[in-house]
A = this chain, B = another copy of it.
C-alpha cells in the first residue's frame, strides 16, 4: 500500500485530501465544473477552507480555477500525457543515476528489490492490479533513493496528474513482461554503482512505456480523460 493514512488536522487539509481522492476516483469527473459553494456544502464546511484547498490543487495541476465559471477538473489529453511522461522520464532517470552514485548497500536496496519480485509474482499470477501497485512502489522507491526532495515532489505531482489515465489504460495494455527485465537490469546497475547505465536503462524503459501508452490512447480515441 502506498496510501499513508491522511492524518487530517485542519479542515483545509481535509478538503485537499477529499477533493484529491474524489478527483482520482472520478467522483469529480475530468472536465467538469464546480462552484466553490457546491464543493463546500458537499464537504460540509465553509467556502474558506475549500478555496484554500483549490489553490493548492491548482498549484498541483489538478484543477483550473476560472473566476466565475467554476473550478474545472483538469482533463488530460494525449499531448498532456506526452509532456508529463517526458518529464517523468528525465527526472526518474536522474534519480536512478543518483541512486547508483550513492552506493547503497544491498540492505538499503532491499525494498526496491522486493518490489521487483512482487511484480514478477503478480505477472505470473496474471494479477494486473497487484502488478500496477508493485510498479508504483518500484518507481516511488527509486525516486526516494535518488535523494532529491524536489524530484520527489515533482514526480509525485505529475504522477497524480496521470493517475486517472493509468487506471483506464492498465487493463488495455499488453502484459508488461518486458518491463520486468528492465527493472532487474536497472537494479543491477544501481547495485554496481553504474550511474550512466542506470540513467540510460531507465530512460529507455520510460520512453518505451510512454510510446506504448500514447499509442494506446490514440487507438482508443481517448482524447480527454
State the A residues within 8 Å of B (CB).
51-52, 55-56, 59-61, 83-84, 86-87, 90-91, 93-94, 98, 148-151, 154, 158
Residues of B within 8 A of A51 (CB): 52
Residues of B within 8 A of A55 (CB): 52, 55-56, 59
In the complex, what distance in Å separates the CA atom of A45 from the CA atom of B39?
27
Smallest Cβ-Cβ distance to A57: which chain B residue: B59
Smallest Cβ-Cβ distance to A61: which chain B residue: B150
Q: Flag if A83 contacts B151 (CB, 8 Å).
A: yes
Rounded to whole Å, the gap between the CB of A24 and the closest CB of chain B is 19
Smallest Cβ-Cβ distance to A98: which chain B residue: B86
Determine how many copies of this chain the complex contains. 2
In the complex, what distance in Å separates the CA atom of A90 from the CA atom of B59?
22
Given A52-B52, A59-B60, the answer on whether A148 and B87 have CB atoms closer than 8 Å is yes
Q: Flag if A87 contacts B158 (CB, 8 Å).
A: no
Identify the interface centre among A83, A94, A149: most chain B CB within 10 Å of its CB: A83
Residues of B within 8 A of A98 (CB): 86
Q: Flag if B61 contacts A59 (CB, 8 Å).
A: no
Residues of B within 8 A of A94 (CB): 86-87, 90
Q: Flag if A150 contacts B87 (CB, 8 Å).
A: yes
Q: Flag if B52 contacts A148 (CB, 8 Å).
A: no
Contact of A91 among B56, B59, B87 (CB under 8 A): B87
Residues of B within 8 A of A149 (CB): 83
Given A59-B59, A59-B60, the answer on whether A151 and B52 have CB atoms closer than 8 Å is no
Smallest Cβ-Cβ distance to A146: which chain B residue: B86
Given A59-B56, A94-B90, the answer on whether A154 and B154 have CB atoms closer than 8 Å is yes
Rounded to whole Å, the gap between the CB of A121 and the closest CB of chain B is 33
Residues of B within 8 A of A151 (CB): 83, 86-87
Smallest Cβ-Cβ distance to A90: which chain B residue: B90
Q: Flag if A148 contacts B83 (CB, 8 Å).
A: yes
In the complex, what distance in Å separates the CA atom of A67 from the CA atom of B52?
15
Given A52-B51, A55-B56, A59-B60, the answer on whether A86 and B158 have CB atoms closer than 8 Å is no
In the complex, what distance in Å separates the CA atom of A150 from the CA atom of B86?
10
In the complex, what distance in Å separates the CA atom of A94 from the CA atom of B89?
10
